[in-house]
């Protein structure tokens, strides 16, 4: 069953700068072959439930196996009969907004 998850997997209690550890997690997700997209706070992964959850497990354990306490925040959208939700959900919003693809950028 197709599933879209937004997941944040992060080391806990290992310092202020976590980019190296987060990069290890994202590498596992990207190498999975499942559609995915990383933003500043979450990575979305889409595919069959079991495959997505296996990737979440492997990405979590890349840190945990090093003895790093790891925090996982996960939100899942299980929608039978739908695929490519990662793109189509955003496309629908952009269509309503008149084709805007990017939020306004304010520094």
Q: CA torsion angle for 75, 79, 82, 85 (degrees, to 10)?
A: -20
Residue 68 · residue 11 · CB < 8 Å: yes
- Provide the whole-model pTM: 0.85
Assess if residue 47 is contained within a domain.
Answer: yes
Assess if residue 91 is contained within a domain.
Answer: yes
Assess if residue 107 is contained within a domain.
Answer: no
Assess if residue 101 is contained within a domain.
Answer: no
Assess if residue 106 is contained within a domain.
Answer: no
Assess if residue 78 is contained within a domain.
Answer: yes
Q: Tell me the CATH number at 61.
A: 3.30.70.930
Residue 14: pLDDT band (50, 70, 90) is low
pLDDT tens, position by position, 37-93: 999 999 999 999 999 999 999 999 999 999 999 999 999 999 999 999 999 999 999
Count up the domains in the chain and report the number.
Answer: 1
- Of 89, 62, 59, 63, nearest in space to 74 by CA: 59
Assess if residue 68 is contained within a domain.
Answer: yes
Query: In terms of residue numbers, what domain contains 40?
Result: 2-96
């Amino acid at each position: 069953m197709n599933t879209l998850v937004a997941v944040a997997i992060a080391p806990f209690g290992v310092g202020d700068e976590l980019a190296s550890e987060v990069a290890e997690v994202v590498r596992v997700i990207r190498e999975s072959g499942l559609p995915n997209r990383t933003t500043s706070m979450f990575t979305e992964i889409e595919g069959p439930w079991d495959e997505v959850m296996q990737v979440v497990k492997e990405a979590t354990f890349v840190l945990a196996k090093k003895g790093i306490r790891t925090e996982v925040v996960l939100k899942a959208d299980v929608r039978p009969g739908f695929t490519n939700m990662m793109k189509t959900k955003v496309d629908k919003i952009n269509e309503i907004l008149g084709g805007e693809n990017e939020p306004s950028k304010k520094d």
